[in-house]
């Protein structure tokens, strides 16, 4: 089973069976999803005691410099690596993965200072606005595409209920309370795994990034809030 170790400033995914080509793909997708440098590690062909991995970075973080910092400050990890600003390959003893994860958190945290993350890029809050009117204005701007993405909104809310759309479905229906108090339904396609990782539960305060979309749901208001991302607030 995958073993993820996730925080706002690091993302390391360790697995025992990933192929070399696959770990490069996974690392790239993790960067796209979370907006931070990411590593995917797998057991090396050299044997069970060694891990190899692929590293991918974001604009503004020179990943080889990050690895230089880790190797220089923590020689006991036995890190071997090579690469350039945006990508690298690494190798380390399996017994040192936990120590590497802590060193990675520190080094990436320092490198990310001042770097804008995708989470920071949104079109503001809908608080006090009529979503129906906003949706009509959004639809007037279509079509959207590469270089002209559809608007994404961001609001704080409290989780009231979190449940799959159907038994064993990867899609979730969230009932959340925004300010001013109003319990509304939001939809999170393929959100079950992420919700489990975040440990979402009733009563949690979260920050939601979402899009507006027309809906023919008979019991709804004529539109849906489609979740793009969720951050649990302290």
Shared-domain flag, residues 145 and 81: no
pLDDT tens-digit map of 112-162: 887 776 656 788 899 889 999 999 999 999 888 767 888 999 999 999 999
Which structural domain range is residue 109 located in? 3-119
- pLDDT tens figures, 187-203: 999 888 888 888 899 99
What percent of the chain clears pLDDT 70, i.e. is strictly above it?
Answer: 86
**Helices (H), ranges, 35-153:** 63-73, 97-111, 131-139
Q: What is the pLDDT of residue 93?
A: 92
pTM: 0.56
Q: What is the dihedral of CA 165, 167, 169, 173, to 10 degrees?
A: 20
Reduced DSSP (H G I as helix, E B as strand, rest coil) percent helix, strand, coil of the chain, to 5: 30, 35, 35
Last residue of a domain, one of 119, 146, 169: 119
Res 61: pLDDT? 92
- Are both 81 and 139 inside the same structural domain? no
> Which residue did the predictor score with more confidence, 127 or 81?
81
Distance between CA 66 and CA 112 in Å, rounded? 10
Residue 132: give its domain's CATH number.
2.40.50.460
Helix (H, G, I), strand (E, B) or coil at 185: strand
Q: pLDDT category, 6, cuts 50, 70, 90?
A: very low
Secondary structure class of 39 (helix, strand, coil): strand
Do residues 163 and 112 make contact, with C-beta atoms less than 8 angstroms apart? no
Dist CA 196 CA 218 (whole Å) = 29
Task: Please check whether residues 165 and 226 belong to one and the same domain.
Answer: yes
How many structural domains is the chain composed of? 2
Task: Out of 90, 119, 148, pick the residue that ends a domain.
Answer: 119
Who has greater pLDDT, 227 or 30?
Answer: 227
């Amino acid at each position: 089973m995958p073993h993820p170790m996730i925080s706002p400033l690091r993302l390391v995914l360790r697995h025992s069976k990933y192929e070399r080509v696959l770990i490069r793909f996974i690392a790239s997708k993790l960067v796209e999803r979370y907006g931070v440098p990411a590593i995917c590690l797998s057991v090396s062909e050299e044997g069970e005691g060694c891990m190899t991995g692929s590293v991918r970075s974001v604009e503004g973080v020179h990943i080889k410099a990050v690895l230089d910092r880790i190797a220089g400050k923590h020689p006991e990890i036995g890190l071997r690596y090579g690469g350039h600003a945006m990508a690298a390959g690494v190798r380390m003893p399996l017994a040192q993965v936990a120590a590497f994860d802590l060193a990675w958190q520190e080094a990436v945290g320092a490198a990310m200072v001042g770097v804008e993350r995708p989470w920071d890029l949104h079109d503001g809050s809908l608080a006090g606005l009529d979503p129906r009117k906003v949706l009509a204005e959004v639809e007037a701007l279509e079509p959207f595409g590469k270089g002209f993405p559809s608007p994404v909104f961001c609001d704080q809310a409290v989780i009231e209920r979190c449940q799959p759309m159907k038994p064993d479905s990867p899609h979730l229906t969230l009932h959340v309370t925004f300010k001013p108090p109003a319990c509304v339904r939001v939809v999170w396609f393929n959100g079950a795994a992420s919700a489990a990782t975040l440990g979402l539960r009733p009563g949690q305060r979260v920050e939601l990034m979402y899009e507006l979309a027309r809906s023919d749901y008979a019991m709804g208001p004529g539109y849906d809030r489609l979740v793009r991302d969720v951050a649990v607030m302290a």
